[in-house]
Amino acid sequence: MDEAAVKQNAAQDYELNLTDGVRVTASGDPASPVLKRFFEGYDRAFVLPDEREDLSGFETCLALNRTHRLAHGRTQCELVAVLETEGGDLLGGANFLATTIKRAGAPPASVALNYIYVETAARGRGLLRQALSAVRRLAPAALDMASDAPPPALFIEQNDPLRLTSDEYAEDTRHSGLDQVDRLAIWARVGARVVDFPYVQPALSASQQADDGLIYAAIDYPGDAVDAGLLHDHLESFFNISVLKGRAEPPGGAAARQIAALAGRVAPAPLLDMAPALNWLRSGRPTAGFDSFRDLAREARGG
């Protein structure tokens, strides 16, 4: 199979061959063995209580492919994917929601990269870039778009080192083997920039809390700001499918507040380079005056 070609095996099952013998298998079916395989690595990679899904949460999201594919007047598809060697060893995984976008001048699709991980033993091989490449190829296929369509806009949540408690910072760093600042630097090298928008992740379930300790970032976005309409449509789909899983949010919840703010917004959301803020943190300069990494990135870009 050609490296760039996505092979569709069934209505919601896909395969893709990457370089160096890396094989990608993806599915939007909650009963697929791909989900169980993805969850094996996911369960090792994510530990903070308000960021974690249990297996049933993923099953619920994937089941919405049958009922919410055309919700909000857009096409949506949620997938889980695993990267493996030709011998079947797990290298990493990704879970994402792809959404068509119909905004003039904007990319034709967006991707909420809900979770992505590289197995500890497989790090240092460029697998993050390969996983991102796979997501960019799988998303158009899942949305029935042409294979030569412009690439989708990619968005991802990141831990905010200025919002984590000291215990959360230490636990996540210990478990992942990556310091929070080093992790952001990795993402900056693959093109991530901070979306200058006061993002809050709504609660993933009734037993969890909304999470305001996150950075929202765009990866290799074309331009210096994200169109407000695109961000509105993207987050509306992401919140309703990947986060709320089709259930109604309590009145005045975090999702409704953000969608309403974007519906009334004309100005695009600027994108802030991470590197100046990361240099600030590494230099030991004081951060007490900054409520978030986003605030620091806005200040640090001026020098």
Count the alpha carbons within 13 Å of 291 in the hemisphere toward its beta carbon: 2
**pLDDT value of residue 52:** 87
Q: What percent of the chain has pLDDT over 90?
A: 84
pLDDT tens column, 237-263: 999 999 999 999 988 899 999 999 999
pLDDT band at 131; cut points 50, 70, 90: very high
Q: Is the pLDDT of residue 3 over 70?
A: no
pLDDT tens column, 73-105: 999 999 999 999 999 999 999 999 999 999 999
Domains in the chain, please, with CATH?
Answer: 6-300 (3.40.630.30)
Count of CB atoms within 10 A of residue 175's CB?
A: 13
Helix and strand element counts for the chain (H, E): 9, 11
Query: In whole numbers, what is the pLDDT of the chain averaged over residues?
Result: 94
pLDDT band at 267; cut points 50, 70, 90: very high
Beta bridge partners of 192: 219
Q: Is the pLDDT of residue 1 over 70?
A: no
What letter represents residue 220's amino acid?
A: D
- At residue 191, φ and ψ (nearest 5 deg) are 100, 10
Task: Tell me the average pLDDT across 167-187.
Answer: 90
Beta bridge partners of 117: 93
Indicate the pTM of the whole model. Answer: 0.94
Angle, helix 293-300 to helix 275-283, in steps of 10 degrees: 100
| Measured distance CA(244)–CA(262) in Å, rounded | 18
Paired tokens of 32: 């697929």
| Measured distance CA(169)–CA(175) in Å, rounded | 10
159-211-294-199 Cα dihedral, nearest 10 degrees = 130
| Measured distance CA(218)–CA(272) in Å, rounded | 10
**pLDDT value of residue 9:** 85
Contacts of 199 (CB under 8 A, 6+ apart): 157, 214, 215, 216, 258
Paired tokens of 189: 């090298």
139-141-143-146 Cα dihedral, nearest 10 degrees = 110
> Which of 20-24, 84-88, 205-209, 258-262 shows the lowest mean pLDDT across its residues?
205-209
Q: Is the pLDDT of residue 303 over 60?
A: no
Q: Is the pLDDT of residue 60 over 70?
A: yes
Q: Per-residue b/e over 72-109, b at no fewer than 16 CB within 10 Å?
A: eebbbbbbbbbbbeeeeebbbbbbbbbbbbebeebbbb
How does strand 6-10 pair with strand 90-100? unpaired
Paired tokens of 269: 């959301």
Q: Is the pLDDT of residue 301 over 60?
A: yes
Is the model more confident about 302 or about 118?
Answer: 118
**pLDDT value of residue 48:** 80
Is the model more confident about 32 or about 47?
Answer: 32
| Measured distance CA(299)–CA(303) in Å, rounded | 8
Q: Which of 234, 270, 229, 227 lies closest to 255 in space, CA to CA?
A: 234
Q: In what order do the strands lie in the sheet with 13-17?
A: 6-10, 13-17, 23-27, 76-84, 90-100, 109-118, 153-159, 214-219, 192-195, 269-272, 225-226
